[in-house]
Amino acid sequence: MTGDESLVVHDASEVFVGGADAERIDDAAVAIEDGTVVAVGPTEEVTREHPPENADRAVDASEKTVVPGFADSHTHSLFAGDRSDEFAAKLRGKDYQDILAEGGGILRTVRAVREASDDELLDAMLERLDAMCAHGTTTVEVKSGYGLDTETELRMLDVLDRADDAHPVDVVPTFMGAHAVPEDSDAESYTEQVVDEQLPAVAEQGVAEFCDVFCEEGVFSVEQSRRVLEAGVEHGLTPKVHAEEFVRLGGAQLAAEVGATSADHLLHASPEDAQAIAEAGVVPVFLPGTAFGLGAEYADHVPFREAGATVAIASDFNPNCYAPSMGFATTLACVGMRLPPAEALAAATHGGALAMDREDRGTLAAGQRGDLLVLDAPSHVHVPYRFGQNVVETVVTGGSVVAE
């Protein structure tokens, strides 16, 4: 980390300002002071006020593109163990939910996480943050949920706190004790345990900001999910919901009712769900990598956009979707969901920031946090267009160059 106090990125062929209108400026520059964007516009104008030669650091972005840092609002990227054999099994026709019902999937990762030491978990997390950062992620939400007991859930959250301190990527911690039902319990008694035992301990620990639940057939019912999320709110945690991933159960409507920040997955959501979400100001988060990995149909974003929602896309990096790259998520959003490239980029930046309650980032407007990427490519379209290639050349978080 260089800790620059002022940074000017100039002569970019394009600056993707982003935001709701996915605004772009050609031949443009961005100036950052003390971690905050202070000017964006044509290079001539910006450099008149902020000459590169006076800045602590200047980056010549000729023939390059500048975009906001990716805000990845849904990951389970803190895990131990290896589930690559399940990838192969799924290709042979095995079902994700059958694997879970047989004690594999999430439950297998739970066993590995319980056995791992704190330092092993931290090392794994830092390594994955490095990979995500190299691919342009500057803010990432990470969920607990591979502990499924109070002790291990708290350990996971503590590791997230330490990783946040140790790494330039901003880590947003979510408590997800209700991620699966542990093998020695049932959904009803485990819901009680999450509410009566885990949530008070998590609140006392003070690390988690959000509370998420896997509202799904065979996992947690709408009523159980509601109890967890409402108890979370009482403990100061903001709700998020895994909704309508495998069947349409009612998680999206629940998200609207409890005022969740986001409802995620939504592969089986209806137009009524889209309407309810948009009216309640819940951000729909699409995870095209998961659909891709499972060979499932992609979510339909159109009803959500028609209802007026700001949509987000996220990586869902987890052992079932080993996908640290938000650039690849934009490719899948374009090809699989038919999102235009500019909208996919806006969903991966502005949308993702809103899905984490981070209104201070996600666009390159003056006043926003100085999180940006310089791409070795002539326009933002090259992010989804060049799949399988990382076009991110320089990563800036809070005004400091952290990878180049």
167 annotated to bind ligand? no
221: contact with ligand NIG by CB under 6 A: no
* DSSP count for the chain of H helices, then E strands: 17, 16
72: contact with ligand NIG by CB under 6 A: no
Going by their DSSP bridges, the two strands 23-33 and 6-18 should be labelled as antiparallel
Cα distance between residue 252 and residue 258, in whole Å: 10
Residue at token pair 């971690």: 35
- Cα separation of the two ends of the chain: 10
Tokens at residue 331, please?
Answer: 């490719």
290: contact with ligand NIG by CB under 6 A: yes
Among 72, 316, 343, 371, the residue binding ligand NIG under the rule CB under 6 A is: 316
Q: Which stretch binds ligand NIG (CB under 6 A): 4-12, 21-29, 101-109, 124-132?
A: 101-109
105: contact with ligand NIG by CB under 6 A: yes
75: contact with ligand NIG by CB under 6 A: no
Q: Which residue is nearest to ligand NIG (CB)?
A: 320
Going by their DSSP bridges, the two strands 6-18 and 65-68 should be labelled as parallel
320 annotated to bind ligand? no
| Residues in 236-255 that interact with ligand NIG by CB under 6 A | 242, 245
Cα distance between residue 379 and residue 359, in whole Å: 25
Q: Which stretch binds ligand NIG (CB under 6 A): 14-22, 111-119, 153-161, 318-326?
A: 318-326
Residue at token pair 């769900």: 273
Structural contact between residues 113 and 50, judged by C-beta atoms closer than 8 angstroms = no
| Residues in 321-340 that interact with ligand NIG by CB under 6 A | 321
146 annotated to bind ligand? yes
Among 136, 284, 303, 319, the residue binding ligand NIG under the rule CB under 6 A is: 319
Length of the chain: 404
Among 31, 61, 67, 106, the residue binding ligand NIG under the rule CB under 6 A is: 106
Q: Which stretch binds ligand NIG (CB under 6 A): 153-161, 317-325, 335-343, 374-382?
A: 317-325
Q: Work out how close the CB of 7 gets to ligand NIG at its nearest, in angstroms, rounded to a whole number.
A: 35
Count of residues that interact with ligand NIG, criterion CB under 6 A: 13
Residue at token pair 């509410």: 195
Structural contact between residues 175 and 232, judged by C-beta atoms closer than 8 angstroms = yes
226 annotated to bind ligand? no
Q: Work out how close the CB of 153 gets to ligand NIG at its nearest, in angstroms, rounded to a whole number.
A: 15
Q: Work out how close the CB of 319 gets to ligand NIG at its nearest, in angstroms, rounded to a whole number.
A: 5
- ∠ Cα 304 306 311 (to 5°): 40
Q: Work out how close the CB of 293 gets to ligand NIG at its nearest, in angstroms, rounded to a whole number.
A: 9
Cα distance between residue 224 and residue 151, in whole Å: 22
Cα distance between residue 333 and residue 128, in whole Å: 22
Tokens at residue 208, please?
Answer: 């988690």
316 annotated to bind ligand? yes
Structural contact between residues 86 and 126, judged by C-beta atoms closer than 8 angstroms = no
Structural contact between residues 94 and 83, judged by C-beta atoms closer than 8 angstroms = no
Q: Work out how close the CB of 175 gets to ligand NIG at its nearest, in angstroms, rounded to a whole number.
A: 14
83 annotated to bind ligand? yes
Among 43, 77, 109, 363, the residue binding ligand NIG under the rule CB under 6 A is: 109
Nearest to 260 by CA among 175, 355, 351: 355
Among 65, 262, 320, 331, the residue binding ligand NIG under the rule CB under 6 A is: 320
Nearest to 175 by CA among 165, 189, 161, 188: 161
| Residue number with CB closer to ligand NIG (244 or 245) | 245
Going by their DSSP bridges, the two strands 392-397 and 372-375 should be labelled as antiparallel
Q: Work out how close the CB of 301 gets to ligand NIG at its nearest, in angstroms, rounded to a whole number.
A: 18
Chain-centre distance for alpha carbon 54: 36
76: contact with ligand NIG by CB under 6 A: yes
DSSP 67-87: EEPEEE--------S--HHHH
141: contact with ligand NIG by CB under 6 A: no
| Residue number with CB closer to ligand NIG (42 or 81) | 81
> Could you tell me which residues are annotated as the binding site for N-formimidoyl-L-glutamate?
146, 318
Interface positions with ligand NIG (CB under 6 A): 76, 105-106, 109, 214, 242, 245, 290, 316, 318-321
> Could you tell me which residues are annotated as the binding site for 4-imidazolone-5-propanoate?
83, 146, 179, 245
> Could you tell me which residues are annotated as the binding site?
74, 76, 83, 146, 179, 242, 245, 316, 318
